[in-house]
Amino acid sequence: MGLLSFLAGKSAEDIERAGDKYFNDSEFGAAKIEYDKALNKAERKTPDNLNYLQSLQEKIRKTRDELAKAHQQNGELLMESQNFDEAEDLFRLALELTSNPDLKIEIKAALSRLNALIPSDRPDETLLVPSPVPAAVDVLDSEDEYFAILCNALPEEVKQMYQGYGQTFKQGFIALNNGDFKTAVKRLSDALEEHSSGGLMIALELSTAHMNLGHYDRASELVSQFVQSNPNELRGYQMLCDIYWATGNFDGAVRLIEGSPVQLKETFPLQVLLGETYFQMERYADAKTIFLACQTRYGQNELVSRALAKIFEMMGESDKAKTIYGQILAGCKQCGARTDPFIKRRYAELCFASGERSSRVLELYLSVAQEDPDCRDDCYQRISEIYEALGNVKEARRYQSLS
């Protein structure tokens, strides 16, 4: 398994944390998109981690409810100002979003109140009924809103390009971000035909859809064309390297990076790509050299630190790996960031392997058991052994029975 993943930029946990930040800032539309992306990635990468998938689904449900509440509140304001059509749109979109039965009742009641306010000379076919079936315009409004939020995360130049590609591209891009890769391939292929002379960025998104379907030859063809036409664009190198890694063509990845323009080759992202490639080739010493150089040149960076810790583990230098994991944990405590359970567990495991049986390591395993249910049994076994070493036989037996 590689140190990094560039197929979708970040791990599911990293994407989830971005969603958490948006949720805490009450930016529920952006939060939902991040949670959807995290769930899609987790379903592809760790489909057996059912507890994690369920936790993401629950966050998506809560976010949809919050979005529905916001649409309901805005609909009430529009109704008070007699903007009846716009109020109806928001109420129906809220009904589409939420699965909360109590909230649905509230929204349907608002629709009924709205219906009573409609002027008597309004045509009968336009009168409102408290039905959860969304109108076609609601789907369009929702699609436009979703696409706008997706584009907001892009650089301004790319954002403007995407917004000018038209409805077919919009549908393909949304399908891609929703994990509907077959639809994405169809719609993005159509969009590429519509913009044959200026659709290089469409080709890049289309290649992502092909990659997720395992169509590596077609994806490689599209990305290679992009790199040839845009030799200074980082994203093409990241995606082509990911294809090479997936197909085991590590020498191709090295040649790609070594052949990139000088001003790009020495940048942090491309050096990280090179270090990852060496790691996957099991050239651990070369990977270590690359990441140490990144640390010297660019300063402390958690991505580099995690990579070095994993490399040191693979090289049998456990003490160095443990020191780095400990530094990452200390940094998380200082800034108040959520600590990745993987880091906690690796640090605890290395401490345990070195013979440490302390309350400090015990607390780490208790924390990991709570945060990552899939490794709970292993953690309980470790907890039992630590309690036994500390002389607490009763707790040792209790956790042994739970493992």
Prediction pTM value: 0.65
CA distance 286 to 279: 8
The closest alpha carbon to 9, from 30, 33, 38, 32, belongs to 38
CA distance 158 to 402: 53
Query: Which position has the higher pLDDT, 112 or 70?
Result: 70
**What pLDDT is recorded for position 332?**
62
CA distance 339 to 332: 6
**What pLDDT is recorded for position 118?**
63
Place 140 in a pLDDT band, splitting at 50, 70 and 90: very low
**What pLDDT is recorded for position 123?**
44
Please tell me whether residue 5 adopts helix, strand or coil conformation.
Answer: coil
Place 117 in a pLDDT band, splitting at 50, 70 and 90: confident
Range of the domain at 42: 1-119+128-153
- Tell me 260's DSSP state: S
**What pLDDT is recorded for position 133?**
36
- Positive or negative: CA dihedral 56, 40, 196, 219: positive
Q: Which amino acid is at 384?
A: S
In a domain, 281, yes or no: no
Q: How many domains does the chain have?
A: 1
Contacts of 284 (CB under 8 A, 6+ apart): 278, 311, 314, 315
Average pLDDT, the chain: 84
In a domain, 48, yes or no: yes
% of the chain exceeding 70 in pLDDT = 89
> What mean pLDDT is predicted for residues 323-352?
83
What are the pLDDT digits (tens) for 178-234? Answer: 888 999 999 999 999 999 877 889 999 999 999 989 999 999 999 999 999 999 999
In a domain, 403, yes or no: no
In a domain, 98, yes or no: yes
The closest alpha carbon to 129, from 153, 143, 113, belongs to 113
In a domain, 335, yes or no: no
CA distance 403 to 397: 10
Place 2 in a pLDDT band, splitting at 50, 70 and 90: low
> What mean pLDDT is predicted for residues 80-96?
81
Number of alpha carbons in the 13 Å side-chain half-sphere of residue 302:
13
- pLDDT score of 44 more than 90: no
- pLDDT score of 259 more than 90: yes
Q: Any idea what the Cα angle at residue 144 is, between residues 45 and 135, rounded to 5°?
A: 105
- pLDDT score of 291 more than 50: yes
What are the pLDDT digits (tens) for 145-154? Answer: 778 878 876 7
**What pLDDT is recorded for position 284?**
96
In a domain, 132, yes or no: yes
The closest alpha carbon to 313, from 272, 269, 354, 362, belongs to 354
In a domain, 161, yes or no: no
In a domain, 83, yes or no: yes
Give the containing element (helix H, strand E) for 337.
none
